[in-house]
């Protein structure tokens, strides 16, 4: 039976595993994520090709604190190729057979398996990827398909709370083209909110109404408010979530997720408002551009998995979801570890 090392030893092993599979090759005609490039302004006015970053990524960990022999159902998000990332799954290490499924609303890929806890009360898992991620610019964006879905409310992204009135109280509401209105929303959120994650706070749910009132939060809060405001203006808006890679490092571990949003009527345009708040010198860039220092794992909110979970729809899907006896596992029972190594 597969058994991963304990947390104190798993990260060096993951990094070593990634390094063994790395190749120094770089696609011709591209710049790497570590070449000197000015990102303080939008590349939309530049003829430079989108930057790329090639890396290995391991999504691993264990379900713990189980009784030996206890059974669990486990769903893991699977990174997949799209217009901005080329994904190859190089290794899957699980203690039981698995199936790969597709969630129908957004096309998210899922790895599902049922397993029994070992003598230590753990169920380990590890998936290793090889990924080439491209910068997203106005020149390589996708067409907006099925826009009606991206105008609807989600549990924490309402469209009937008059958040537009609150954000623009005493000010002129956005006008002009879709691009111009979205830019006005982007600027208004940066003026209103601050990136902050105080201990014990309610940040991180991606609750647009809470974010509007509290005026602080993390990436999910910034982008949920943006999506609510877009949808109030009848502008389709989409949520993506995955993991950030430090731009200055070539290998290491990733502490947690990162998310961003898209808007558009004909073609999707990205925004990363929380990063713009943390890096004001890149405010112009993060409207309609995303760096290559990230990987997407899923799209959308209120996710019903396949096969369906017994619990409520997931607010978003980036960490493992586990059910034991038909109930969601406690957060402290799920110990994920994420590592990357540039190729």
pLDDT in tens, 123-155: 999 999 999 999 999 988 999 999 999 999 999
274 and 232 part of one domain: yes
Rg over CA atoms, the chain: 20
Give every CB contact of residue 276 below 8 A, 6+ residues apart in sequence. 186, 190, 282, 283, 285, 286, 287
Residue 79 falls within a domain, yes or no?
yes
Q: What is the pLDDT of residue 39?
A: 54
Of residues 7 and 157, more confidently modeled: 157
From its phi and psi, is residue 171 left (phi > 0), alpha (psi between -120 and 50) or beta?
beta
Could you tell me if 39 and 87 lie in one domain? yes
Instruction: Answer yes or no: is 262 within a domain.
Output: yes
Contact 113, 63 (CB under 8 A): no
Strand order in the sheet with 98-102: 98-102, 109-116, 71-78, 321-324, 327-328
Structural domain contains residue 1? no
CATH number at residue 220: 3.10.620.30
pLDDT tens for residues 185-220? 999 999 999 999 999 889 999 999 999 999 999 999
> Tell me, what's the pLDDT at 304?
98
Section 28-39 average pLDDT? 42
Residues 292, 310, single domain; the answer is: no
- Given a cut of 70, whether residue 5 has pLDDT beyond it is no
- Other CB atoms within 10 A of residue 42 CB: 17
* Residue of 81, 36, 128, 77 lying closest to 319 (CA atoms): 77
DSSP 71: E
Same domain membership, residue 324 and residue 294: no
- Total structural domains within the chain: 2
* pTM of the predicted structure, to 2 decimals: 0.88
pLDDT digits (tens, 9 = 90+) for 49-81: 789 999 999 999 999 999 999 999 999 999 999
Whether the per-residue pLDDT at 96 is higher than 70: the answer is yes
Is the domain of 119 the same as that of 251? no
Looking at the chain, list the stretches that DSSP marks H as alpha helix, in order from N- to C-terminal side: 7-20, 163-167, 178-192, 208-214, 219-232, 273-278
Closest CA to 259 of 246, 241, 277, 245: 241
Same domain, 168 and 200: yes
Indicate whether 141 belongs to any domain: no
- Domain of residue 77: give its range: 7-135+306-342
What pLDDT is attached to residue 50? Answer: 87
């Amino acid at each position: 039976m597969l058994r991963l090392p304990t947390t104190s030893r798993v990260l060096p092993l993951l990094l070593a595993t990634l390094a063994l599979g790395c190749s120094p090759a770089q696609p011709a005609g591209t710049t790497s994520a570590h070449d000197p490039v000015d990102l303080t302004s939008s590349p939309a006015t530049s003829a430079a090709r989108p930057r790329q970053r090639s890396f290995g990524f391991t999504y691993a960990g264990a379900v713990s604190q189980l009784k030996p022999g206890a059974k669990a159902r486990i769903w893991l998000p699977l990174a997949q190729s799209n217009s901005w990332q080329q994904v190859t799954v190089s290794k899957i290490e699980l203690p039981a057979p698995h199936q790969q499924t597709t969630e129908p609303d957004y096309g998210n890929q899922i790895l599902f398996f049922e397993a029994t806890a070992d003598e230590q009360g753990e169920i380990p898992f590890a998936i290793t990827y090889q990924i080439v991620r491209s910068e997203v610019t106005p020149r390589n964006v996708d067409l907006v398909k099925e826009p009606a879905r991206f105008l609807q409310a989600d549990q924490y992204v309402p469209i009937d709370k008059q958040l537009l009135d609150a954000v623009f109280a005493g000010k002129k509401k956005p006008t002009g083209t879709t691009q111009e209105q979205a830019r006005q929303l982007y600027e208004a959120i940066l003026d209103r909110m601050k990136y902050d994650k105080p201990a014990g706070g309610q940040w991180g749910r991606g609750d647009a109404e809470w974010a509007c009132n509290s005026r602080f939060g993390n990436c999910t809060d910034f982008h949920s408010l943006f999506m609510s405001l877009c949808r109030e203006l009848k502008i389709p808006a989409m949520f993506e979530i995955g993991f950030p890679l430090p731009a200055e490092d070539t290998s290491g571990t990733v502490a947690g997720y990162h998310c961003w949003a898209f808007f558009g009527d004909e073609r999707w345009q990205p925004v990363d408002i929380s990063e713009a708040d943390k890096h004001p010198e890149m405010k112009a860039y993060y409207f309609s551009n995303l760096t290559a220092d990230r990987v997407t794992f899923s799209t959308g909110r209120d996710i019903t998995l396949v096969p369906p979970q017994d619990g409520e729809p997931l607010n978003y899907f980036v960490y493992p979801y586990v059910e034991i006896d038909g109930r969601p596992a406690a957060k402290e029972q799920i110990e994920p570890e994420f590592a990357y190594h540039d190729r």
